Amino acid sequence: MPKDDFAGLLPENFEEFRSLDFWEGFFKARGSKAFEWYGEWKQLRPLVLPILKGHSDILVLGCGNSDLSADMYDDGCTGITNIDFSKGVIKEMMLKNLRKRPRMKWQVMDMTETKFPDGSFTAAVDKGGLDALMGEDTEGSDAAGAKFLAEVVRLLKPRKGSVYVCVSLAQAHVLKKLLAAFSGPWHVKLQRLPPTPDMAGAALQPILVKVQRADLAHADELAPVELCFSEDLSAPNAEQLQDICQVVREDSQMRQQARVQDEADPFARLHPGRRLFLPSLSPEGADCTNGEAHSNGDASSTGRVNPLDVPLGGGRSRYSAVVLDSEGIAADGALRDCCVFVVPQGRESEWLFAHPEGQWAVARDCLSKRVILIVLNRGHEFTASKSVQAELSPLVKHLAPLHVREVEKAVPILTTDEGIGERHIREDVISPISGRIVVEDTRVPHPEGGPDDLHWVRRMVFLSTRGLTQSEAYLAHRPPEASDAQAKSGSAKKARRKAAKGKDMDMVPHYSVLACEYHVSIVAGLSLIGDALVKQRRAGKGQGEVLVIGLGGGSLPIYLHEVFSFNVECVDLDETVIRLARTHFGFQESSETPKLQARVGDGLEAAAERASQQEAGLDVLIVDASGGDPSQAMSCPPAVFLERQFLQDAHRSLAQEGLLVMNCVCRSQAIFDSAVAALQGVFKDVYQLDAEGDVNRVIFASKQHLECAPPLDGTASTAVRACSSLAALRKVADVHATPSSIPVDDPLVTQLTRLRLLANPPYMWTIMDAPIYFKAGRF
């Protein structure tokens, strides 16, 4: 662009580039005419478009009034969110693009401090933004650049392929800051961009910097920066190219030195973004070369052992560990270099401690650059927090960064308010189908209580499936009976004191409250057909028929049977699971109405049997089965339950206003979307409800549009009205039940505010029972 097009608009010093007042005045002075830093899309397109193709969540940082986003959109990159801190320019660009590009979003935000959640985008595009913040090498520009780059790291999804595309003049101080920010699990590539005619002879010309998240299996390796050009003394920007090459050479030397240090001591330095799983600890630390350390919990750093085979809490040694090195804003805001966090016994299978995303959340809350997450393994006795701390101190010493060890200062050891927790194993068994299963009692904070309000919970944990907790039930204390004479004795009083502490006592499950969050989600979603069930029961047309595929401990079937008086049939492939449910979870079958039954069988065959019956009688079909393979992106339900044959059988087995319910655990949004599409190919409406603080997503599918379904506006008042059908259903089941009203803070109401109807894919028609997708204008 000719220089005189914006003559007089540039600031007197580079510091003004960080000023909102400057940019508001700049855009006002230019009017609606686009301003393109470092060239237009036609210069960028050959290199940038291949990088962004396939990304559905793209953030354009400091968009200004550039046409870049519009050009990208027109080239197929439609999932774009634009941000700028100028209200005027965002309003202008929104009005300019609203009709032609309806999927594009515009928001007023400071790009150094956005309001988006962590990991909101797979791609971030920055054309001149970093340069505007760091025009001159000053303390202020250095701080602004660091803050911006840390925000970019935070916003990108922590998975392979996430990418930051930066168009910059790559001045030495800017490039150094950028390479330092992405020194962890990132691949950096620098390419020369073809200059615009007005910049062809300039001493500074635009450079494309591509920063892509590395393969998680090698996230702890420092890949050298890829430089796609060399020094060119004949070029008009020869000095710029020399400076860039020098910065890259110095960075490569630093990375090489770091690799040598890592080979000798893998924990000596911080690796931003690295997550290592250590199945066992010893006073000498962990040897990363023998297959005991695993990067990111997704693949072995040595390729010899899959860490998914060693679930948290299932190791043979007393302690296992996960070492997390913070990156981006979490690292910049850390108050200490290293700390230890002890996971309370019995809580290692919870999402917060078992899932990588949960573990990173714990690391952020610890405000430490390195967090060593310690798990107390089953089969060992841990008496008190002080003894555990004394035992851990020498074990974690070699896991701290070298500079922390050198000052010989004790690494702080943190835990939750409940301390190291308590665990009592009821049974530890090997099933020929499900592998190792443990039934255990542990104390956990009550979700509605304070930090000191601990409740006993019984869990069935499938250790062969990455510590999957299939069932949870709150326990009620039942102290041992004693005669009147014994009750007066000191021994009886002592027994009662032990009972209060959970020792030497008979604890039994009770089901007035559900312990599993996703079970609460399932029950809340039944409000979709609650009115229909109430009418059915009042008309004497049945109790309501429920088939549950996947029993676990039986908590959900028992609750549906006891609270709503449904006839519930459960099918599970594993005879051992059914036995454990009967022995430890109070699963007592009843052949009288309302019925509660469990049998060994195949859920696919059970659905087919129901579908073959002339009278379709199921009101609810619940699929709560695990695939047993945690390496799959969707571990629950097994893929076979999303195949068309099963979905058609499920459809035929349901009553006209029946509901198919599926518990989904999926780490890939694309695969989850495919599962939803499969359901939408057979069922009329599909709803989704995400369990709070959990990885579970519950899907509800109906055969017809539910006229009596509650309005879904996400408000508590609407959720209360929707849940009233469940209260009414319980009232019909039990004349002594509480009135049919539910308070606003009830867990069912809280869950139901997140229920939403999923839109059918555009241009989807059904021909001969097979969904066929069309793109606009052509097949």
Write out 56-70 in H/E/C secondary structure.
Answer: CCEEEECCCCCCHHH
How does residue 516 score in pLDDT terms, banded at 50, 70 and 90? confident
Q: Higher-confidence residue: 717 or 650?
A: 650
CB atoms within 10 A of CB 480: 13
Tokens of residue 56, six digits = 């559905």
Please indicate, yes or no, whether residues 399 and 439 belong to a single structural domain of this protein. no
CB atoms within 10 A of CB 584: 22
Instruction: Of 596, 566, 594, give the one whose Cα is nearest residue 581.
Output: 596
Identify whether the C-beta of residue 565 lies closer than 8 Å to the C-beta of residue 737: no
Tokens of residue 198, six digits = 């007005």
Task: Report the distance separating Cα 741 and Cα 750, nearest Å.
Answer: 15
Whether residue 269 lies inside any domain: the answer is no
**Mean pLDDT score, 766-774:** 34
Residue 69, judged by CB atoms within 10 A of its CB (0-12, 13-18, 19+), counts as buried
Task: Report the distance separating Cα 688 and Cα 574, nearest Å.
Answer: 29
Place of tokens 């060994």: 600
What tens digit of pLDDT does each residue of 231-279 get? 888 888 899 999 999 999 999 888 888 888 888 888 988 888 888 888 8
Whether residue 779 lies inside any domain: the answer is no
Task: Report the distance separating Cα 408 and Cα 724, nearest Å.
Answer: 61
- Percent helix, strand and coil across the chain, each to the nearest 5: 35, 25, 40
HSE of 264 in the Cβ direction (CA atoms, 13 Å)?
8
Task: Report the distance separating Cα 601 and Cα 595, nearest Å.
Answer: 18
Name the H helices within 136-291.
Answer: 139-155, 172-181, 238-264
Peptide bond into 594 cis (omega under 30): yes
Whether residue 484 lies inside any domain: the answer is yes
**Residue that terminates a domain, selected from 476, 509, 542:** 509
What tens digit of pLDDT does each residue of 173-207 get? 999 999 988 887 789 999 998 887 777 788 888 89
Beta-strand (E) ranges in 69-119?
80-84, 105-108
HSE of 409 in the Cβ direction (CA atoms, 13 Å)?
10
How does residue 773 score in pLDDT terms, banded at 50, 70 and 90? very low
**Mean pLDDT score, 128-142:** 84
Task: Report the distance separating Cα 404 and Cα 267, nearest Å.
Answer: 11
Name the H helices within 126-237.
Answer: 129-133, 139-155, 172-181
Q: How many domains does the chain have?
A: 4
Report the percent of the chain where pLDDT is more than 90.
31
Tell me the Cα Rg of the chain: 30
Tokens of residue 376, six digits = 């107390």
Please indicate, yes or no, whether residues 606 and 467 belong to a single structural domain of this protein. no
Tokens of residue 432, six digits = 């020929």
pLDDT at position 233: 85
Domain containing 565 equals 517-771
Whether residue 442 lies inside any domain: the answer is yes
pLDDT at position 32: 57
Name the H helices within 322-438.
Answer: 329-332, 351-354, 356-365, 385-396, 402-406
**Residue that terminates a domain, selected from 229, 264, 299:** 264
Whether residue 776 lies inside any domain: the answer is no
Tokens of residue 508, six digits = 């039994």
pLDDT at position 204: 84
Neighbouring residues of 745: CB distance < 8 A, sequence distance ≥ 6: none
**Mean pLDDT score, 344-370:** 85
H or E element, residue 623? strand 618-623
Instruction: Of 298, 347, 348, 346, give the one whose Cα is nearest residue 320.
Output: 348
Task: Report the distance separating Cα 721 and Cα 176, nearest Å.
Answer: 58
CA distances to 3, 49, 604 from 38, in Å: 12, 16, 60
Please indicate, yes or no, whether residues 51 and 196 belong to a single structural domain of this protein. yes
pLDDT over 70 at 315, yes or no: no
Tokens of residue 539, six digits = 């008309």
pLDDT at position 403: 87
Please indicate, yes or no, whether residues 404 and 452 belong to a single structural domain of this protein. no
Whether residue 193 lies inside any domain: the answer is yes
Give the range among 345-359, 423-437, 704-718 with minimum mean pLDDT. 704-718
List phi, psi (to 5°) of 188.
Answer: -115, 130
pLDDT at position 314: 58
pLDDT at position 775: 34
Torsion of CA 429, 430, 436, 440, to 10 degrees: -10
Please indicate, yes or no, whether residues 593 and 534 belong to a single structural domain of this protein. yes
The enclosing domain of 242 has a CATH number of 3.40.50.150
H or E element, residue 371? strand 368-376
Task: Report the distance separating Cα 654 and Cα 615, nearest Å.
Answer: 9
pLDDT at position 329: 77
Beta strands at 368-376 and 319-325: parallel, antiparallel or unpaired: antiparallel
Please indicate, yes or no, whether residues 357 and 395 belong to a single structural domain of this protein. yes
Residue 245, judged by CB atoms within 10 A of its CB (0-12, 13-18, 19+), counts as middle
Name the H helices within 516-566.
Answer: 517-525, 530-538, 555-564
Please indicate, yes or no, whether residues 161 and 42 belong to a single structural domain of this protein. yes
Please indicate, yes or no, whether residues 230 and 286 belong to a single structural domain of this protein. no
Which range in 120-124, 695-699, 754-758 is most confidently predicted, on average pLDDT? 120-124
pLDDT at position 284: 53
Total count of residues recorded for the chain: 779
How does residue 735 score in pLDDT terms, banded at 50, 70 and 90? very low
**Mean pLDDT score, 654-672:** 86
Which DSSP category does 778 fall into?
B
What tens digit of pLDDT does each residue of 539-598 get? 888 888 999 999 999 999 999 998 888 999 999 999 999 999 999 999 999 988 889 999
pLDDT over 70 at 71, yes or no: yes
Q: Higher-confidence residue: 765 or 595?
A: 595
Residue 452, judged by CB atoms within 10 A of its CB (0-12, 13-18, 19+), counts as exposed
Answer left, alpha or beta for residue 417, where phi above 0 means left and psi between -120 and 50 means alpha.
alpha
Please indicate, yes or no, whether residues 35 and 68 belong to a single structural domain of this protein. yes
CA end-to-end distance (rounded Å), the chain:
41
Task: Report the distance separating Cα 374 and Cα 377, nearest Å.
Answer: 9
Please indicate, yes or no, whether residues 355 and 468 belong to a single structural domain of this protein. no
Please indicate, yes or no, whether residues 669 and 563 belong to a single structural domain of this protein. yes
Task: Report the distance separating Cα 621 and Cα 429, nearest Å.
Answer: 29
pLDDT over 80 at 52, yes or no: yes
List phi, psi (to 5°) of 116.
Answer: -75, 150
Please indicate, yes or no, whether residues 398 and 335 belong to a single structural domain of this protein. yes
Whether residue 521 lies inside any domain: the answer is yes
What tens digit of pLDDT does each residue of 455-510 get? 889 999 887 766 566 688 999 877 555 444 444 444 444 444 444 444 445 778 98
What tens digit of pLDDT does each residue of 83-118 get? 998 888 888 889 889 889 988 999 999 999 998 888
In the three-class reduction of DSSP (H, G, I as helix; E, B as strand; rest coil), residue 705 is classed as: coil
Whether residue 212 lies inside any domain: the answer is yes
Task: Report the distance separating Cα 175 and Cα 181, nearest Å.
Answer: 10
Tokens of residue 676, six digits = 């939803």
pLDDT at position 745: 61
**Residue that terminates a domain, selected from 390, 415, 440:** 415
